[in-house]
Amino acid sequence: MFDKNLTATLNLPEPRSAQLRANWPAPAHVRTLITTRTGGVSEGAFASLNVGAHVGDRPEHVAQNRAIVQAHIPLPLAYLNQVHGNTVVRAADSLNAPADADAAVDDTGSAACAVMTADCLPVLFCDRAGTVVAAAHAGWRGLADGVLANTVAAMKVAPMEIMAWLGPAIGAEAFEVGQDVWDAFCQADRKAQDAFRAIGGGKYLADICLLARQALYREGVTQIFGGGHCTVLERERFYSYRRDRQTGRMVSAIWLER
């Protein structure tokens, strides 16, 4: 829950109602928070709720923004050092020093799984019984390399018991890619061609949410929700690296509230 005393002590602005929650039929004690770009203290290209410490923003602003987000959440946020790979770690193991990974899982209720994005797809997971949660950072490289499959496996429950929520990401009308991206997906699975539309010159428009759905279906996960926000087109609401290059990062978090 949001701790107003903490915010007052740190002299921080109160979080605004612009933040999102996953809209899915998860158990009540599975909690989520997805930040937007508003409600923080950063300025200029990073305005205003940037939580990325690696993008050139002032460190003191990033620290204040992370404190604002943390005030929403009763468990410590386990940030990752994301490398566009497919490694999954236990969230609690990334609390003292961010692990080199792109997904985290928790079944202890001791840490909140968190991934940062600014066009890449954040995917949140839980099982129907609410015993385990996970968060994955699915850029196209990690998606092609199996980050979602590895996350499902790390949850150690039957895939038919898992539900997934697709967060804000670059939309199908904005994600222009080259032949290398088409090859990475379509050479492995012909069905992936449904997620690409040729626009000439060896270029395609790619639907990253459809690619994620296909990957989840292959693992036996059929309860999939979300996917309705485009970070590029919703300029006032979301950061977008593809659109702005120098920009901040949002965070998508999920945790078990005991």
For 212-247, how does the pLDDT look when each residue is reduced to its tens digit (9 = 90+)?
999 999 999 999 999 999 999 999 999 999 999 999
| 78 in Cβ contact with 135 (< 8 Å) | no
Gap between the terminal Cα atoms of the chain: 13
The whole-angstrom separation of Cα 31 and Cα 1 is 10
CATH of 4-170+224-256, one of 3.60.140.10, 3.40.50.2300, 3.40.640.10, 3.30.420.240: 3.60.140.10
Domains of the chain, by residue range, sit at: 4-170+224-256
Look up residue 81 and give its DSSP letter: B
**pLDDT at residue 157, rounded to an integer:** 98
- Confidence at residue 9, expressed as pLDDT on a 0 to 100 scale: 34
Q: Please report the pLDDT score of residue 18 as a whole number.
A: 74
CB 205 within 8 A of CB 193: no
Residues of the chain with confidence (pLDDT) below 70:
1-17
Do 225 and 23 form a contact (C-beta atoms < 8 A)?
Answer: yes
β-pair type (223-226, 162-166): parallel
The amino acid at residue 125 is: F
The predicted structure's pLDDT at residue 8:
39
pLDDT of residue 258: 82
Q: Is 244 exposed, middle or buried (0-12, 13-18, 19+ CB in 10 A)?
A: middle
